[in-house]
Structure 1
Amino acid sequence: MTAPTKPPTTDQIRTAWDTLAPGFDRHTTPHTTRWGEQALAGTAIGPGTRFLDVAAGSGALALPAARRGARVVAVDLAPAMVERLAARARAEGLEHVRALVMDGEHLDLDDDTFDVSASLNGVSLFPDLGRGLAEMARVTRPGGTVLVAAFGPPREAEFIAWTVGALRAAVPGFAGMPTDPPPLPFRLTDPDRFAAVLREAGFSGVTVRQVVVGTFFGSAAELMDTIRSSHPLGAQWIAGLTEDRSTEVRQILDGMLRERSGGAPGAVLHTTINVATGTP
């Protein structure tokens, strides 16, 4: 059993994501936008839908909703993420997007405001998941929908699993991903447990569906850049490599990509996402 550690403070969390924001926007959001599109597939989000994206990053869920015509409020703790989300919305001419700096555990928003409140790998990372879900429920109108999307099993997030495998092969003593407890992004990997968490939070009509999304990585370097920028843990893995180890990891990943693609330097990697919905 891993000894419990003191949770990071809000300021520490904000600083960590602010630091990652430039790389996250450049390397991670282009991939996770595909996840956002799939999470919204089949939902009744369209022109005029009042849509809230909690812990929005630089827009992987908010912008697909806005492209459907929704009136979007997107909030994130990190100002640098909010700046990049707003810039993306302006570049696409998406006028009905408001990007705000806000703590998702303490939303400065009125009760019963939104038709849909959603989060993609956002509220699932909160130190207090229950508080985050309660806030999403509070600001969603009666009969509205709360949608939460989070990673499936780590082995089914190939961009992570492949990198962990390459690091284990190249770096003696690399510990890999902790499992007890797992990192916060993987706290809701089991669909039954995910549904139970929402029911315990007071939601009704809970459903959890799994979607497998393929995204293209053009090179091993792009894959490593995505890992480095996607989460503080990934940044720690890559930052700790010597130049020689980094080269070795890149070479291993290059071989894996070429094997998947039949010789080309890039390949499609797959990620399983659990998409849960419920009515507050």
Structure 2
Amino acid sequence: MTTPTRPPGTDRIRTAWDTLAPGFDRYTTPHTMRFGEQVLAGTAIGPGTRFLDVAAGSGALALPAARRGARVVAVDIAPAMVERLAARARAEGLEDVRALVMDGEHLDLDDDTFDVSASLNGVSLFPDLGRGIAEMARVTRPGGTVLVAAFGPPRKAEFIAWTVGALRAAVPGFAGLPADPPPLPFRLTDPKRLAAVLREAGLADVTVRQAVMDMAFASATELLDTIRSSHPLGAQWIAGLTEARTAEVRQILEGMFRERSGGAPGAVLHTTMNVATGTPQGTPLGRDDTAPGHTARARPRSP
């Protein structure tokens, strides 16, 4: 089994995430939403805050922000993700949530619109990472906050590391995660690199802290379902298994779970996350916003 490293085009990205949306919403979002609540608990987001969730999935940051009273716009390139986010908002009676299909590298939103723009394991997956963060900075008011949360090292993402270990034990020749270059979810594992990317997008007062996302799995089967639905790469890993190999991988994981939890079938796995924030400063005098690598703050966009 091999793992591709070249990012696919926009249409393929949209199709892949549309396909994963039902499983992602069922298995992945409950974990990431709990972490989203944890991340936002340390912010000043409250009633009236204008909040943007970029590459929102089915609402891991958008819905916790809305519960705190924020006026939320959530965008994602995959229509199926947007539909599920909107359905979650309706089910909770969260009326101030706008869920829109939109490419995060080309936000069709006005400059200086939001108090906080955030992305959880979203913008880090963009083919053009710098443009994605620059767009978040553009639509955030000067003095506001841009927040980007992304995976730390793969070995500290236990739900992935455990699955890779079980696959290597059960599947001869399983390649695992490529290291050079790493897959997109792990391109910002170095806090210094993450900070540099935010500064390159024109953000000031950049800070990066580490936080732990705890993921409680009831069984090894639930873990494999989560891996299958969390990312196209994980879907490829599981789809490539025969029924016998799947059973073997599950048996290995069950043993690891029992060891972690003292004999119980489930376990809590831990994932280190890098959480970065920065502050837009407005358009510096004399800057050429038409120069390559710059995104003009002053050009109009439709709401």
Alpha-carbon distance in 1 for matches of 2:211, 2:83: 29
State the Cα deviation string for residues 97-120 of structure 1 (Å, max 9, x = none). 110000000111111100000000
CA drift of 1:213 comes to: 2.0
Aligned to 2:127: 127
Q: Is the 8 A contact 1:38 1:211 kept in 2?
A: no
CA RMSD of aligned residues (A): 1.0
Question: Structure 1 residue 152: deviation in Å?
Answer: 0.5
**What amino acid sits opposite 1:78 in the alignment?**
A
Partner residue in 1 for 2:252? 252
Q: 1:265 to 1:9 in 2, by over 3 A?
A: same
Q: Number of residues paired by the alignment?
A: 277
Q: Which residue in the other structure is 1:97 paired with?
A: 97
Question: Which runs of 5 or more residues in structure 1 are unaligned?
Answer: none
**2:142 equivalent in structure 1:** 142
TM-score, normalised to structure 2's length? 0.90
Structure 1 moving runs of 4+ over 2 Å: 4-7
1:212-269 deviation digits (Å, cap 9, x = unpaired): 1212100000000000000000000000000000000000001111111101100111
Give how far 1:34 is off: 1.6
State the Cα distance separating 1:7 from its structure 2 match.
3.6
Task: Measure the CA separation in 1 of the matches of 2:68 and 2:92.
Answer: 13
- 1:106-117 to structure 2, matched below 5 A, reads 106-117=106-117
**AA aligned opposite 2:151:** F
CA offset digits 1:1-36 (Å, max 9, x no partner):
xxx965411111000000000000001101111221
What fraction of aligned residue pairs are identical, expressed as a percent?
88
2:241 equivalent to 1:229: no
1:40 to partner: Cα distance: 1.4
Q: Which amino acid aligns with 2:174?
A: F
Task: Work out the CA distance in 2 between the residues paired with 1:213 and 1:104.
Answer: 24
Structure 2 residue aligned with 1:58: 58
Max Rg structure: 2
Question: How do residues 155-194 of structure 1 correspond to structure 2 at under 5 angstroms?
Answer: 155-194=155-194
User: 2 CA distance for matches of 1:187 and 1:139?
Assistant: 24
Taking the aligned partners of 1:222 and 1:181, their CA distance within structure 2 comes to 29
Please list, as runs of the form range in 1=range in 2, the aligned pairs for 1:196-207 lying within 5 A after superposition.
196-207=196-207
Amino acid in structure 1 at the alignment position of 2:215: T
Taking the TM superposition and a 5 Å limit, the aligned residue runs for 1:17-96 are: 17-96=17-96
Structure 2: distance between partners of 1:7 and 1:58: 22
Q: TM-score, normalised by structure 1?
A: 0.97
Whole-angstrom CA distance in 2 between matches of 1:253 and 1:163: 7
2:223 & 2:6 partners in 1: Cα distance? 31
Assess if the C-alpha contact under 8 Å between 1:54 and 1:76 holds in 2: yes
- Does structure 1 conserve the Cα–Cα contact (< 8 Å) formed by 2:137 and 2:146? yes
Work out the CA distance in 2 between the residues paired with 1:113 and 1:197: 22
How far apart, CA to CA, are the structure 2 residues paired with 1:31 and 1:116?
22
Question: Unpaired segments of 5 or more residues in structure 2?
Answer: 281-303
1:169–1:6 CA distance, 2 compared to 1 (3 A): closer
Assess, with a 3 A threshold, how the Cα gap between structure 1 residues 49 and 272 changes in structure 2: closer, same or farther. Answer: same
CA–CA distance in structure 1, aligned partners of residues 243 and 7 of structure 2: 32
- State the alpha-carbon separation in 2 of the partners of residues 78 and 148 from structure 1: 20
- 1:35–1:273 contact (8 Å) kept in structure 2: no
Equivalence for 2:300: none
Residue identity opposite 2:94 in structure 1: L
